[in-house]
Amino acid sequence: MRNGLCAGISRIGIGIAVMGMSVPALTQSHDDPLTRPIAPQSAQRWLGPQAPVRIHGQTYLVGFAGLNVALIRTSAGLILMDGAVPQAVSDVKAHIRALGFSIRDVKLILSTEPHFDHAGGLAALARDSGATVIASAEGVAELRPGGGNPADPQAAWLERFPPVTRLRVARDGEAIQLGDTVVTAHATPGHTVGSMSWSWRSCEGKGKRQDCKTIVFAASLNPAAVDSYRFSAPANRSLTSAFQASFAKVRMMPCDILLTTHPDQGDGRAQLTRLKKQRHPNPFIDTSACRRYADRNAARLDAKLAAEAAQR
């Protein structure tokens, strides 16, 4: 493994943000069934170039301007969060290399939701790293066949993706440890029935100067649905109730730094712009971010329910 990521790894962060690096183009050199492009025209809006960057401590973003993929460096290897679309896999791996690591350093991949924009690259990343993909039980049930749940509110919009085989189920509240890092699973169903958010403690500095924060990588809470879907329909009320429970959970979650699966679901784009100018004070630190994230999406669901009631 590179940069001492094997046993005895230093717990000191590499302390870099590769802000000025050039980002490779989204290209594939050969026909790999696990990286064949999915919905390339629509996916392109998420895949604007973005250099990998350290957010806090040993937590990094290695994704794109419209699609977050997170990375945690632990004393026993790397944890990756989400896999983007298949055609973005080569760029995710390039971003990991730019930080001085290798895809083979990735030991665990945590999944937020079984939609192609976040799960499409999981099969290739798991194959190339040898990592296990961890998701909720409902998420695993959808990742294994590559999506295709007809009950999903967005089913008519969704593309199938390469089936994921290296899978493990995480329970709600389960603590998953790799080396010196513990990541907690938080079931947040609604956007998909298998949505899972993840949180962990991130520390930087030493002694009295050590600064520790709780980071949340949150699954989408957006009540997106095709026009014909009715959240108030009797058959869908369980999902609507799940959404409302997820809003309540995220509001109360310890949360110093919020990372959302799409940066524009929170304040990620503005925060990253400020981070490029100065790291202190860290613009990502915002103890109200999770509460506001839940409140914004709860208001969206309330508006949909009100519109449905007005149509009856």
pLDDT digits 0-9 by tens, 142-187: 999 999 999 999 999 999 999 999 999 999 999 999 999 999 999 9
Residue 208: predicted pLDDT: 81
23 has a pLDDT exceeding 90: no
> What contacts 311, CB < 8 A, 6 or more positions away?
none
Give residue-wise pLDDT tens across range 268-301: 999 999 999 999 999 999 999 999 999 999 999 9
Q: Which pairing describes strands 132-135 and 106-110: parallel, antiparallel, or unpaired?
A: parallel
Residue 18: predicted pLDDT: 42
CA–CA separation, 145 and 123 (whole Å): 11
Q: Is 123 exposed, middle or buried (0-12, 13-18, 19+ CB in 10 A)?
A: buried
Confirm whether pTM is higher than 0.95. Answer: no
Cα 49 to chain centroid distance, Å, stands at 17
220 has a pLDDT exceeding 90: yes
Domains in the chain: ranges and CATH: 44-311 (3.60.15.10)
